[in-house]
Amino acid sequence: MRRNGIFAKAFCALFALFMLAPILVVIGVSFTPTGYLEFPPSGLSLRWFRAILDNPDFIAAAWISLKLALIAATLATVLAVPAALAIGRGSFRGREALQALFMSPLMVPTVVLGIAFLRFLTLVGISGTFTGMMLCHVVIVTPFILRLVLASVVGLDAATERAAVAMGASDWTVFRRITLPTILPGIVGGWVLAFITSFDELTVTVFIASPSTTTLPVRMFSHIAQTTDPLVASVSTVAILFTVALMLTVDRLYGLDKLLIGEGKT
């Protein structure tokens, strides 16, 4: 194997630093004992982590975000799996159009989506409700799941399903025992990606959230708009730790590189 030269190594190191720097700064700031944003921190203090507990509205917002992300990611998965199976293997009229439709939330600028959702929810009469917000998130996260599930569906050898059929399996048994386990890594990967996307979605949500449905990113955004204390940094640090924990769990179970590269067939 070819070894990397000094320039390649330096480039990689700088690139990694560039990617990680904002996160490192936020984590550093969250441990500051001072009342303002300071980096590097002049001391180590858990003051701003305790402050989270004194702000029940942050905790309430975090619960809403968690609930929203869980439900939206799961609902979107239920929609995306059959869609991916149909698009990935079918050859019917409008197949491409259907795929484009499912993918379109990725193409439309999120600000435009936000305004559109706000208008639409008002028209339907569910603006400011959790249900309305949840439906919007389903639309936003579906493309992420579809992409990953589609990748594993394409890698699925149709002959394996035929083999099961030839051995006497019914359609449902084939799906449950063969198809589903084979594309499961794609489904889990898509779900995780969708969960994270929904959990930290701001641009669209800021348009449609109401005081009773304020998500964590929206809460943090409005907090920064008023004051600039390290509270948002400590909240961010907790959120980062939560995400890392989720990723590690998934990696243990399925192997992250396999999930995110979307390799369905092994």
Partner 1 sequence: MAFLDLVNLTKTYGTFTAVDSLSFSVERGSFVSLLGPSGCGKTTTLQMIAGFEEVSSGRILLNGRDLAAVPARQRGLGIVFQTYALFMHMTVAENVAFGLEMRKVDRAERKRRVAEALDLVHLSHLADRYPRAMSGGQRQRVALARALVIQPELLLLDEPLSNLDAKLREEMQLELRRIQREAGVTTLLVTHDQSEAMALSDQVIVMERGRLQQAAAPFDAYEAPQTSFVSGFLGKSNSLRGRLSGKGPEGSALDLGGLRLQGPAADLPPGEVELALRPERIELVAEGEGLVSGTVSEQVFLGDQWLLKVETPLGPLLILRRNTGRPEAAPGETVHLSWQRDHLRILPVEGAA
Give contact residues for partner 1 (rule: CB under 8 A). 157, 159-160, 162-170, 173, 177-178, 181-182, 265-266
- Min CB(195)–partner 1 separation in Å: 24
5 or 168: CB nearest partner 1: 168
CA 57 to chain centre: 23
SS3 labels along 62-103: HHHHHHHHHHHHHHHHHHHHHHHHHHHHCCCCCHHHHHHHHH
- 52 or 154: whose CB is closer to partner 1? 154
172 Cβ neighbours under 8 A, 6+ residues apart = none
Tell me 54's DSSP state: T
Shortest distance (Å) from residue 162 CB to partner 1: 6
| Minimum CB–partner distance for residue 263 and partner 1 (Å) | 12
Query: Nearest distance from residue 164's CB to partner 1, in Å?
Result: 7
Q: Distance of CA 32 to CAs 90, 107, 220, 233, Å?
A: 57, 40, 18, 10
Closer CB to partner 1, residue 125 or residue 168?
168
Measured from the CB atom, the residue of 50 and 265 that comes closer to partner 1 is 265
